[in-house]
Amino acid sequence: MAHTFNPTVLREYDIRGIVGKTLGTGDARALGQAFGSMVRRQGGKTICVGYDGRLSSPDLEQALVEGVCAAGVDVIRVGRGPTPMLYFSVYELDTDGGIMITGSHNPPHYNGFKMMIGKASCFGEKIAELGRMSAAGDLEQGTGTVRDENILERYVKRLLQDVDLPALEKAGLKVAWDTGHGAAGEVVSALIRELPGYHVLLNGEIDGTFPAHHPDPTVEENLVQIQDCVAQEECDLGLAFDGDGDRIGAIDGAGRVVWGDQLLAILSREVLEDLPGATIIADVKASQVLFDHIAELGGRPLMWKTGHSLIKSKMVETAAPLAGEMSGHIFFKHKFYGFDDAIYVALRLLNEVARTPGGLKALKDSLPKVVNTPELRFPCEEERKFHIVPEVHRRLKAAGADVDATDGVRVKTADGWWLLRPSNTQDVLVARCEAADEEGLARLKAILAEQLKASGIEPPPM
């Protein structure tokens, strides 16, 4: 009997598991044949496949390719690199889909798959359908071909296309880059050789054990090294990336973190100057400052559900030229393709910094001042996390609270707002609070803690 992939690795937005426990080459091969069958039934014949720098990725890639070919679909192997390079290859080579083998921002023993059917994300019901097809043996048979394509140079050339080189030359910026030993290392290394200014690359060698620090720039402790570098080298800013190069983190010249919603506010200016009245999307974790800022610039702010595939789908639906998440996924359709590419976002940010007196520090200082928490994460079992938020919602509605249930619960009070939602990618509940001052923030955190306790979650100090 043919191997079917472990259903426990199926997620809403990708397929992910622990290598050697819940995920192995048999799963990759089975997924490849199911995915190839889906592509073939939709009239497709060729897909791109790429992989990140994790130690398990080459073997998973080989098995996946075998599975795709067994469905009679041809494969173009674009090699090791960041997830956005795989997305780019699907557009550049005009294929019928793509699969990236990546564990994203997760620890080294994780791995998984991000997929495109045509030029759109493969998520939700399509992932569930892949599981059903594999379990039922409802698969196409055939003999696909395989060829290699070196896409990296073409990708770097495309990234450079929208860089304001004269502005960078004039500004003479000093920039620190930290790829965290992740898959963006070779691309960033090639890129900065072409950029004016002074550039320092940290952890540029791709190493799937991530020896320097965990590759997630949304966690402040992972930014300490680049903060130190910005201070020591007197850099204008620092840019950091997650394990597969689709999430960005930023540090200003004063060493302060510039969070994802603040970056989106900064980047929205040029887009709205070019496209007045355009819709700009942000997820429910974003600051109210962002939504107000977009409106003040003449744009239409839209709050939407967290999840890179959901955001990309909403961009298509609303023709939005720009969108982003607190997690550092930022999506440019303005002059680009509409997928989340942290390296491209870094370059667009450099344009803004180079054109602004005082640089990133001044851009951050120009935003209204509020006090807020970063993303707060509370461990919670996978099944339980999806029941807690409805419990909280029922209690809040019964109490007459002002609740937005777009994604989890976002609650407005006289002090500001707080949010609670289940993570899409980890066994945690995610929360955030924002107020005008520290006293108001303390009150919001107390309300959040009270609701968590009422559902049996003991919150750590916030």
Spell out the domain ranges in the chain.
7-150, 155-255, 260-342+357-365, 371-454
Question: Look-up: residue for tokens 């007197």?
Answer: 234
CA angle 174, 176, 181 (to 5 degrees): 155
Tell me which residues are annotated as active site. 104
Do β-strands 428-435 and 376-379 pair in parallel, antiparallel, or remain unpaired? Answer: antiparallel
Torsion angle (degrees, nearest 10) of CA 261, 263, 266, 268: -70
How crowded is residue 137: how many other Cβ atoms within 10 Å of its Cβ?
A: 11
CATH class of 260-342+357-365: alpha beta
> What CATH number labels 7-150?
3.40.120.10
- What CATH fold (topology level) applies to the domain 155-255? Alpha-D-Glucose-1,6-Bisphosphate; Chain A, domain 3 (3.40.120)
For residue 433, give the nearest of 456, 459, 394 by alpha carbon.
Answer: 459
The reported pTM is: 0.94
Which amino acid belongs to residue 259? W
Do β-strands 15-18 and 110-117 pair in parallel, antiparallel, or remain unpaired? Answer: antiparallel
Which residues lie closer than 8 Å to 342 by C-beta, 6 or more apart? 82, 84, 184, 241, 242, 245, 246, 247, 248, 328, 329, 330
Beta bridge partner(s), residue 302: 281
d(CA 117, CA 364): 38
DSSP secondary structure letter of residue 45 = -
The pLDDT value recorded for residue 34 is 97
Domains 7-150 and 155-255 share a fold: yes
The pLDDT value recorded for residue 80 is 98
The pLDDT value recorded for residue 184 is 98
* C-alpha of 357 from chain center: 29
Do β-strands 402-404 and 376-379 pair in parallel, antiparallel, or remain unpaired? Answer: unpaired
DSSP secondary structure letter of residue 44 = -
The pLDDT value recorded for residue 270 is 97
The pLDDT value recorded for residue 2 is 57
d(CA 120, CA 419): 29
pLDDT mean by block of 10 residues, the chain; 462 residues: 71 88 96 98 98 98 98 98 98 98 94 96 93 95 98 98 97 98 98 97 98 94 98 98 97 96 97 98 95 97 91 95 95 97 98 97 95 88 88 94 94 96 85 96 96 90 80
DSSP secondary structure letter of residue 335 = S
CATH class of 371-454: alpha beta
The pLDDT value recorded for residue 250 is 98
